[in-house]
Structure 1
Amino acid sequence: MTAAASVVRYEGFSVSNHPENARVQVVTLDKATIDRFEELSSKWQVQALEYKPFNRFAVADALDKCCEGQLGKFLVKTMEDRDAGAFLLEADEAAQKAYVNTEEQREAFVKLATAISHLIGLPNFDSMAGKYYARFTVRNEDNSDSYLRQAHRRMELHNDGTYVNERTDFVLMMKMAEENMEMGDSLLLHVDDWQDLDKFYNHPMAKQNIRWTAPPSKNIGYSIEHPIFFEEDKNGKPHMLFIDQFAQPENMQQGLYLYEMGESLENESNCSNIRVNTGSMLVVQNHCWLHGRDKFVAHPGLKRELMRQRGHFTR
């Protein structure tokens, strides 16, 4: 690999620090890499990835071979590094210009995201979608039972996987398409950059179980209990599991602790706005990063399609 200014070159891709948050690694795939991957992955339809889980690993291996094995190693290292733990993966400018607004293009995005998720771990079953990934659309009007699809409000900072009984180490969020969009950037806050972390981590409620319940659209028929600071990493630093909407406080102490935490997070000046372009994906270590989304500017033709994969590390 070679370095030029703040950009580091690898085989088939380059890496730089994100201008809004240096913890976030910007991984840019060369157009030649994208073209070669599409050629190698053309033998698999998306349905073949959905029906046969081992095909997903073959797709991941195909992408890694396009980068001489360097991409997978870099992504795993990034996710294992608490000081980073996040990357924005995108294609270079030439490849982005070649994108077209078709279902065939979006299926190519599914393959790419599948390759990335299987290079770093294993996606969990997504109960909302009934498969290992979920595709959903945000429109100008919505009557859903969660903030996920509601365009005209800020989706507060949170961790995923708070209401399921399986580990959620990473979250992958990919933009599949968008029309008439203004604002709506992703929001990111690293746990270690939260200025009130010590206050809440050393609070008497920090290690007490709280009950978490999902709304009907999530297709989760149970509640679970766990504390917000549910474990420490190998260096003794806290991992978090928090989302304001699905917490079910059972007394005044829990309720006020959750309320004050939510207020602190939403007023944190170290929160970063990260723009994700169509065909790009943001991947975060779920227990070290809180994520959210800024509100959109209203427009009758507003439409954004997103894909989500959430899973656990396997190495």
Structure 2
Amino acid sequence: MAYHVQSQNLCVKPTPYSNRLLQVTISKEGVAQFLKEIEIYPVQALEYKSFLRFRVAQILDQICDHQLKPFLERALGDRNAGALLVNPEGINRAEQGDEMVKIATAFVHLIGRSNFDQMTGQYYARWAVLNTDNSDSYLRKPDKPLELHNDGTYVNEVTDYVLMYKIDEQNMEGGDSQLLHLDDWEELDKFYNHHMAKRVMRWAAPPSKNVTQDVYHPVFEADSHAKPVMLYIDQFAQPKDYEEGVYLADLGDSLESSKHKLSFPVPVGQFLLINNLFWLHGRDKFKPHAGLRRELMRQRGYFSFSTNPFSRYKNFKNF
């Protein structure tokens, strides 16, 4: 399906990195109009009153001539696409972080709802990567790559989408975003048809995630069209035996060595929004620098227009 949308405030076209990854631009005038109309809703209001997240989504869609919502549903549900690089023009400075939260909130609440993020206690998470780090996962470690994975592997919530927003960066070299579409992975058939692919395994998070309950699900499932979908992360898998451990180690090596892995910079003020079921994401390591700093924002949640095949493993509550 070809995606070329052009209106007064919305433009969609393929990126140079992949035809599957679409560049979505909201005009500077459209962004300014959106932020003006939602001045009455500070971020705290969006935190306290969850229905206001849908109100700001409605306003953004109106500014985009009601083309944004149907486009997002089509593109994010399309297995041949499912990944967006979004540029809200004119919002690209760290002091505009609250505006970025509002823009991200509007986007994702056109397609579903963001889950509670236990790491920060809100429906979104903001954090910084610095030159030195003593945390208990690779999320904040600049000298290590964040290997390809899916989000939502260790929580009892359906995670259909992931949004990753770059708020700020200083003294940065390296740290490119990385993506891999399942259908472009050379050894998908080998691992999907392996007898371990559907075995229910245990997944557990470190203390910083503020999740105390282990979850259980397989690495692979099939969607409504019998296509493979995935729920995997290297850091939080807890194999119970040799067979599970070797399968997971081989799978991780295969993902990282794929020649179809995309690697590209995301400019400050832009964000990635991907279908979490058939796209994996990660990050390359940074070159050390005493003043290194990158601030990020995350939202992840469920689609309201489709069903997730992993939901039978989850204690998911419909709203």
**Class of the TM-score when normalised by the shorter of the 2 chains:** over 0.9
Q: Which residue of 1 aligns with 2:59?
A: 62
Q: Which residue of 2 aligns with 1:246?
A: 236
1:136 aligns with 2:133: no
Q: Could you tell me which amino acid in structure 2 is paired with residue 36 of structure 1?
A: Q
Q: Which residue of 1 aligns with 2:112?
A: 121
- Corresponding pairs, count: 304
Q: Map Cα deviations across residues 16-37 of structure 1 (whole Å, 9 max, x no partner).
A: 1111111011101111111101
Deviation at 1:101, TM superposition (A): 3.5
Tell me if structure 2 keeps the 8 A contact 1:11–1:70. no
**Taking every aligned residue pair, what percent have the same amino acid on both sides?**
52
Secondary structure at the residue paired with 1:277? coil
Cα RMSD of the aligned pairs, angstroms, is 1.3
Q: Could you tell me which amino acid in structure 2 is paired with residue 61 of structure 1?
A: Q
1:158 aligns with 2:175: no
Of 19, 23, 26, the residue aligned with 1:22 is 19
Q: Which residue of 2 aligns with 1:199?
A: 190
Secondary structure at the residue paired with 2:287? coil
Tell me if structure 1 keeps the 8 A contact 2:94–2:168. yes
Q: Which residue of 2 aligns with 1:275?
A: 265
Mapping of residues 74-85 of structure 1, within 5 Å: 74-85=71-82
Deviation at 1:10, TM superposition (A): 2.7
In 1, Cα distance between equivalents of 2:112 and 2:8: 22
Deviation at 1:142, TM superposition (A): 0.3
Q: Which residue of 2 aligns with 1:266?
A: 256
Q: Map Cα deviations across residues 147-173 of structure 1 (whole Å, 9 max, x no partner).
A: 000011111000001111110000000
Question: Normalised by the size of structure 2, how large is the TM-score?
Answer: 0.93
Tell me if structure 2 keeps the 8 A contact 1:173–1:282. yes
Structure 2 unmatched runs, 5+: 306-319
Q: Which residue of 1 aligns with 2:297?
A: 307
Of 176, 183, 194, the residue aligned with 1:185 is 176
Q: Which residue of 2 aligns with 1:41?
A: 38
Q: Which residue of 2 aligns with 1:50?
A: 47
Question: Normalised by the size of structure 1, how large is the TM-score?
Answer: 0.94
In 1, Cα distance between equivalents of 2:70 and 2:63: 13
In 1, Cα distance between equivalents of 2:66 and 2:183: 31
Deviation at 1:235, TM superposition (A): 1.4
In 2, Cα distance between equivalents of 1:120 and 1:206: 29
Structure 1, 10-19 or 37-46: larger mean CA deviation: 10-19
Q: Map Cα deviations across residues 15-61 of structure 1 (whole Å, 9 max, x no partner).
A: 11111111011101111111101111111110000001011111111
1:91 aligns with 2:88: yes
In 2, Cα distance between equivalents of 1:100 and 1:223: 38
Deviation at 1:7, TM superposition (A): 5.7
Tell me if structure 2 keeps the 8 A contact 1:211–1:223. yes
Deviation at 1:274, TM superposition (A): 2.7
Secondary structure at the residue paired with 1:88? strand
Of 250, 274, 285, the residue aligned with 1:284 is 274
Deviation at 1:275, TM superposition (A): 1.7
Tell me if structure 1 keeps the 8 A contact 2:93–2:168. no
Q: Could you tell me which amino acid in structure 2 is paired with residue 168 of structure 1?
A: T
Tell me if structure 1 keeps the 8 A contact 2:182–2:280. yes
Q: Map Cα deviations across residues 268-314 of structure 1 (whole Å, 9 max, x no partner).
A: 01000132111111011001000000111111000011000010011
